[in-house]
Amino acid sequence: MTSVGDRDIIEVEERELPADRFSDRELSWLAFNNRVLDLAKDVKRVPLLERARFLAIFSSNLDEFFMVRVAGLKRRMAAGVAVAGSSGLMPRELHDAILTRTRELVGDAAYVFANDVRPALAQHGIEILRWDELDEDERRQMTDLFENRIFPVLTPLAVDPSHPFPYISGLSVNLAVLLRNPVTGVRQFARVKVPTILSRFVPLGGGRFVPLEDVIAQHLHQLFSGMQIIEHSTFRVTRNEDVEVEEDDAENLLFALEKELLRSKVGRPPVRLEVEDDIDEVMLELLISELDITEKEVFRVPSPLDLTGLFSIADLDREALLYPSFLPKTHPELAEVETAQPANLFAALKNREVLLHHPYDSFATSVQRFIEQAAADPAVLAIKQTLYRTSGDSPIIDALVEAAQAGKQVLALVEIKARFDEQANIAWARKLEKAGCHVVYGMVGLKTHCKLSLVVREEPTGLRRYAHIGTGNYNPKTARLYEDMGLLTSNAVITDDVARLFNHLSGMAQETHYRRLLVAPHGVRRGLIESINNEIANHNKGLPSGVRIKVNSIVDEAVTDAMYRASQAGVPVDLWVRGICSVRPGVRGLSENIRVRSILGRFLEHSRLYWFANGGEPVVGIGSSDLMHRNLDRRVEVIVGLNNPRHIAQIEGLFDLAFDPGTASWWLEGNTWTQRTLDTAGEPLLDIQEHLIATMGQRRAVER
């Protein structure tokens, strides 16, 4: 993708657009999570244990949404920032709409679990039981477990004049207990936290499980000996967990973040209270009062609360109830000859660029091996790497440590502000520093979200640079679960761009001009809008035109308006969006030429792809940037242009497949998503991910 500096600026007449042209991003996110719930309901296309997993994912997604997005909204309301969003909704209106829609979704999820997934699991010998469904032997077994393993770690906390209401940690499952003193008749409230050291669903043997809170509830008399147990019920609190660091005021960003993480353990205000639907009203009133939460933020749901516990059920070794096993293949252009020895990636990349598509192409034998071979190769002088999220035991971290210990120059640009991974990132950043790596903790005011590796190698012809530019994180674990793309190249223009970008990130270089890269925050929005405007100009000239974009989310108003104007001019715009979409397609006079599709499945669609017809000579890029304010304004993002005709054709083929009416997907019209995963006869449509599993392993290396 050429940088914006290499193009003449094309001005487009800016006609006034309707005020209601944007969907609300938070409500759009809830629509996305509803699509996740659709997968939990999908009997024909999704194996049973995977449906249980999607229920857990739905619940986990909702937890994070409340911890971050709803928490941020409440913070703005508390601060009196009464500014309408692009959708026109005021904060309080939006908060009410979120709570109403969430209540519907949570009720739907509870129904799916109780009336669909749980009975179906039981039919296959996997039973999630309540205490009154256990036989006598199982009850004795659970009593022994309670006395030996559970009772010693429980801490019952009573509330009375000498014991204030305890702090309830976020997302913990708790038992609220109403007690009576048999001597004085005085009633008293107590709380018992369900420990996380044991599995949420306790195995009984023979595929039978019981919720841990049920076991505790049946033995409350042992915790409160001498007291009468009047009522008990489970509840769960969600708190604001959005970590904020004032970077400009922090002399040392690392220490500032560590301090904030420590502070965040307590004092985070609640944003949601989940309770059993039959909770005692007196008990509920006490919780509402003590937690300082409103009644409309209370969600009454059937027990068991917190369906994220289904992750452990979904991990059971029941092959027939899971997606068929899948082993990623080595890209044929990295291993042209069958051999027991790992392919020499530097030799392969001298001859060609390789476009990787994970998880179908193995991450371990491509990107990971690229870093590992660089670390072990005596000819390699330097390795530079961005790290946003990775696993704690990552072979890539180990390889960078080995490279530094071997005397190579190693630069690791670590983003310690990666949400919910802050503590882990700090830990392995320290490990890299101790090994002698140059560690840079991002840039003040910006998150480094781009996915870049650069290797400098001494060769007979002189120094040569190799690079990887990707759409996903350098995380071997998620690389098996996320769909992503990456480019391995020794192209001198691209590697020079990457080298100058690293100098910009680690030093004081003020670099803004690149030949094959678009770089945020300065170049991505401008470059994309210029490309869209170019399509309008080509359409007006009678040349081939079109815009095709695949991202996780679209929110940015400026880019959206450019697409609306393209649609009004007659340019076809195809948007492949996994999550949030503020674009309203199919609106008369505004967006008749815009199509929006969403695809969800066994892999999380994560790649960002950009395609422009460009008068018949397509311009195509891949990169890390979604179309959101944070990506375009507050992050370092990179999109790299592809120029290999086979790579361009591969991207075009993916879009063709995604928008084929015979492919299972969700279609957006205006604000309404419609599931289209079955044909008129009720049979499943083509699953694009399963199709790629079946076809990509059959590829052969192509001669350069």
Question: Taking the mean position of all CA atoms in its chain, how far away is CA 303?
Answer: 27
In the 3-class helix/strand/coil scheme, how is 45-108 assigned residue by residue? CCCHHHHHHHHHHHHHHHHHHHHHHHHHHHHHHHCCCCCCCCCCCCHHHHHHHHHHHHHHHHHH
Cβ neighbours around 574 below 10 Å, total: 20
* Residue appearing with tokens 């639907």: 277
Tell me the C-alpha distance between 102 and 120, whole Å: 25
Q: CB–CB of 636/506 below 8 Å?
A: no
- The conformation of residue 417, written as its DSSP 8-state character, comes to T
DSSP string, 345-384: HHHHHHH--EEEEETTB-SIIIIIHHHHHHHH-TTEEEEE
- The DSSP bridge partners found for residue 470 are 451, 486
Q: Alpha-carbon distance 701 to 704, whole Å?
A: 9
Q: What is the distance between the alpha carbons of residues 95 and 77, in angstroms, rounded to a whole number?
A: 9
Cα–Cα separations (whole angstroms), residue 645 to 527, 617, 656: 22, 10, 16
Instruction: In whole angstroms, give the CA distance from residue 42 to residue 27.
Output: 23
- Residues in CB range of 382: below 8 A, 6 or more apart: 408, 409, 410, 411, 454, 455, 456
Catalytic residue among 95, 358, 449, 468: 449
Cα gap 413→443, rounded to integer Å: 9
According to DSSP, the β-strands at 380-387 and 451-459 are antiparallel
> How far apart are the C-alpha atoms of 592 and 126, rounded to whole Å?
49
User: Which residue in this structure is represented by tokens 């669903």?
Assistant: 201
Q: Per DSSP, what are the bridge partners of residue 489?
A: 467
Strand (E) or helix (H) holding 262: helix 253-263
Q: What are the counts of helices (DSSP H) followed by strands (DSSP E) for the chain? A: 21, 27
163 a catalytic residue: no
CA geometry: angle 92, 97, 103, nearest 5 deg: 125
User: Rounded CA gap, 521 and 635, in Å?
Assistant: 6
Helix axis angle for 91-112 and 71-78, nearest 10°, is 150
Which amino acid is located at 652 in the chain? E
Where in the sequence numbering do the catalytic residues fall? 449
